[in-house]
Amino acid sequence: MNKVYKSKKDQWLVWITWFSNIVIIISVIYLFFIEGITTYSLVYGISMILVVLFLYFLLSLTYYVITDTELRVRSFFFKWNIPIDTIKKIFPTNNMLSSPALSLDRLMIIYGDEKKIMISPENKNEFLKDIASQNPDLIFEGNTLINKNDS
């Protein structure tokens, strides 16, 4: 199995990101017209364009892959490989802490020695069923997956 899930994206986050990118691009263009191309404006312009690219790729390259043995979490150049057999619990959360999730409609995954990561697959129910199909020790209790050996 190699199934890819895109991250669900909250519309407010998409709008804020695009608005920020537009403001940054306009400010760089404005600076070049006012200041001309100086060392300062060039350094500022390049660094701001890198911020725009970072935000764009962050929105575009956040996804999750379920393989036969792993959950692979990717967010731009950040990567996590979580062995499915180490997953202890997966449950819904709206926690706002930073994570490779582009929505507040998230799943908290507890794995290994109490490591945690939050993700936001577009179809949470299908995602949970696919994870459970890869590890027979994971059982449903409502909308939560729990490892029956860790109870």
* Closest alpha carbon to 97 in 120, 80, 74, 114: 120
Asked, for residue 69, whether it belongs to a domain, the answer is no
The residue-averaged pLDDT of 26-39 equals 89
Asked, for residue 54, whether it belongs to a domain, the answer is yes
- Could you tell me the CATH number of the domain that includes residue 125? 2.40.50
Helix axes 39-60, 11-35, angle to 10 degrees: 160
Asked, for residue 67, whether it belongs to a domain, the answer is no
pLDDT at 72 over 90: yes
* pLDDT single digits (tens) 89-118: 999 999 999 899 999 999 999 999 989 999
DSSP run (H or E) holding 110: strand 106-111
* pLDDT single digits (tens) 44-53: 999 999 999 9
Assess whether 87 and 143 both reside in one domain: yes
Asked, for residue 74, whether it belongs to a domain, the answer is no
The total number of structural domains that make up the chain: 2
Residue-range definition of the domain harbouring residue 32: 3-60
Assess whether 140 and 89 both reside in one domain: yes
Q: What is the pLDDT of residue 132?
A: 95
Q: Say if residues 121 and 130 touch (Cβ distance below 8 Å).
A: no
**Mean pLDDT, the chain, integer:** 93
* Closest alpha carbon to 135 in 123, 122, 148, 144: 148
Asked, for residue 76, whether it belongs to a domain, the answer is no
Question: CA torsion, points 71, 74, 77, 81, in degrees to nearest 10?
Answer: -10
* Closest alpha carbon to 88 in 30, 33, 146: 146
Assess whether 53 and 103 both reside in one domain: no
Q: CA 126, CA 141: separation in Å to the nearest integer?
A: 15
Assess whether 88 and 141 both reside in one domain: yes
Asked, for residue 28, whether it belongs to a domain, the answer is yes
Asked, for residue 70, whether it belongs to a domain, the answer is no
Q: What is the pLDDT of residue 151?
A: 58
Q: What is the pLDDT of residue 41?
A: 87
Assess whether 87 and 133 both reside in one domain: yes
Assess whether 90 and 138 both reside in one domain: yes
Asked, for residue 65, whether it belongs to a domain, the answer is no
Across 20-105, the runs of DSSP E, i.e. the strands, are 62-66, 70-75, 78-83, 87-93
